[in-house]
Chain A
Amino acid sequence: MKIGLAAALLLAAVLFPLATGEGYFTHLAITMLIFSMLAASLNVLMGYTGLVSMAHGAFFGIGGYTSGILAVRHGVPFWLAVPAAAFMTAVIALAVGVPSFRTRGVYYIIVTVAFQIIASEIFDNWHTMTGGGLGLKGIPRPGGTLWQSKIGYYYLTLVVALTVHAALAGLIRSPIGLSLMAIRDNETKALAMGLSPIRYKIFAFVLAAAVAGVAGSVYVHYVEYAHPDFFNFFVSVDLFLAVMLGGAGTIAGPLFGVFVLEMLREVLHEFVAVRLLLFGILLVALIVFLPQGALRPLVSYARALVPPTRLTKG
């Protein structure tokens, strides 16, 4: 049944823009695809490695700005800017990640928060590079008329996102994924089994950051603009909430979380304070009542509603 569902979703994703064309829903779908990459990569950290990071928005931004600055100020084409963004983000993640793993628990989260704040301040103030509070304007779409349309860019994003999701899911199922989970569940035991927790943590951190960098790059080339607010602390919290909402440590959970949160964001886009108030309460409610996320309980609730015979057919 799972494979059937995945195939149906994939088919829907491929056919979707044919129905919505250049309209608003295609735009929404592109945004969701980009945020799904962010949530999935954060999930590798939170769900599978046991690292709570509040700096994913910063890596999203580092990717976005690297790519945007290269394209705007140096005329680097999109196809080179994306890997450059991934590389730059990975290098910075390596530089930050290695020392930060000396800390644990709350201290580790705080280091990520501090990094996020510093990154935001740099985005905001390095006027000659980032354009500061005015933002970086005129980031071009990739060359060729195909990518100028929303539909074209949608398929581009879809391919990138599917590649990322497939790669991350494959990684989770591989021996590396198992090692990450072993470290998450009991670091001392993993160490005793001969794994090097610090190496795996750094690997997961750098990988997640690089994916966020790619997402940032794809994002700024889509909206043709970069602004510090796209990548601030609240974006990090949003992503965190998306992963929590769907269920950290599951593959489908964060995707579900992104979908729900993005829909909420659209519905409440004129009421930012209401949305954030809601998100805050949701965060508390989730951690208190549903630390495993809302997707699994929802699914079992739905299953209980449907007579079992109909489920076995699908």
Chain B
Amino acid sequence: MLQVLANGLVNGAVLALIAISLTIIFSILRVPHFGLGGVFVWGAFVAFVAAEHGVPFGLAVLAAAVAMALVGVLIERLAFRSLRAATEEAMFVSAIGVLIAMENAALLVGGGETRSVPVPESLRFVVSFGGLVYLPAMRVLICAVTALAFAALILFVRTTRTGKAMRAVAQDRVAARLLGIPIDRIASWTFAIGSGLAGLAGALVGAAFTFNFEMGSLSILKAFVVVVLGGLGSVAGALVGGLVLGVVDSLTLTYVTSEYKQLVAFGLLILVLVLRPTGLFGQRSARADATAS
């Protein structure tokens, strides 16, 4: 039981990391960036290629995050910049296009097999938590990195000038622009941070578990479930939602059903959305938005 919970928390930490990246981009720019699923896959792939070529593990993971941050900036330019005044639906369609294109580009370049990013010997031990729960070091590392990324992000948004500008854009884009905040540059920063985190998540998952080119879509959809549970726009909500869903998933898998494992998560999503159409803790009412525009 405790072991199941611990495994669930690890999965939850991964989900939370992706959900946080989704949340940053959505809350600041209102872009539902499902293309992050593709970024996630490519993050794992870049780390894999780098590590295979003898790059030290930590550096390979870092390279994946940096590369994906750059790719994220490029994606914003190509697929979302000219849609800034468009509806969320239009941006969603563009994002789905990005997701499909990136996943299949990865499939073309890397082939269909399931791989794992090589982990150095020094990280291949199992951590015992009081003899009750055992976790491989890589999985503990994932939790640590998620916590660190969360803290760093909060610090960045609260204390830096760019972070302050991001919050301003999130609150009121027009007012922010009138005050001289360069929206385009903030958008690039936002996509860089979000995509970098997604790439980081991909690299870590690829190392702790395995990865293939189909995992992106499902991961990003799961991340969206998390975001809805946590309330769109709340980074802390994404963290809590991720951990909760990870545990729920793990419990379902062990005690209820292994065949219908998506049914629980997505059924939950539909239920939450139907009962609370803006998510569990969503502050902004979609209904109010619709009438205001």
Contacts and interface: CB of A to CB of B under 8 A. Distances in A.
Contacts of B156: none
5 contacts: A105-B88, A111-B269, A274-B108, A277-B101, A279-B101
Contacts of B266: 114-115, 117-118
Interface of B: 32, 78-79, 82-83, 86-90, 92-94, 96-105, 107-108, 217, 221, 224-225, 228, 259-260, 262-263, 266-267, 269-270, 273-274, 277-279, 286-287, 289-291
B93 A104 contact: no
A281 B101 contact: yes
Nearest to B101: A280
A291 B131 CA distance: 59
A237 interface: yes
Contacts of A160: none
A190 interface: no
Instruction: Indicate the member of A52, A114, A282 with the most B CB atoms within 10 Å.
Output: A114
A273 B273 contact: no
B101 to A, nearest CB: 3
Given A104-B286, A117-B262, A187-B290, A284 B79 contact: yes
B273 to A, nearest CB: 5
Interface residues of A, number: 42
A109 B287 CA distance: 15
Main secondary structure of the interface of B (DSSP, over half): helix
A277 B104 contact: yes
Given A104-B287, A276-B100, 17 more contacts: A100-B273, A100-B274, A102-B274, A106-B88, A110-B228, A111-B274, A118-B267, A121-B262, A125-B259, A188-B291, A244-B93, A277-B100, A280-B97, A280-B100, A287-B86, A287-B90, A288-B94
Contacts of A284: 78-79, 94, 97-98, 101
Interface string A266-306: 00000001101101111111011001000000000000000
Contact of A282 (B97, B277, B278): B97
Given A105-B87, A110-B224, A117-B266, A283 B100 contact: yes
Contacts of B103: 276, 280
A107 B277 contact: yes
A122 B259 CA distance: 9
A235 interface: no
Main secondary structure of the interface of A (DSSP, over half): helix
B218 to A, nearest CB: 8
A283 B277 contact: no
B94 A106 contact: no
B105 to A, nearest CB: 5
Which 5 pairs of residues, A with B, have the shortest CB-CB distance?
A280-B101, A283-B97, A280-B100, A284-B97, A114-B266
Instruction: Indicate the member of A54, A125, A282, A284 with the most B CB atoms within 10 Å.
Output: A284
A103 interface: yes
Nearest to B38: A280
Nearest to B258: A125
B195 to A, nearest CB: 16
B273 A103 contact: yes
B104 A276 contact: yes
Contacts of A240: 93
A99 interface: yes
A233 B217 CA distance: 10
B260 A125 contact: yes
A102 B277 contact: yes
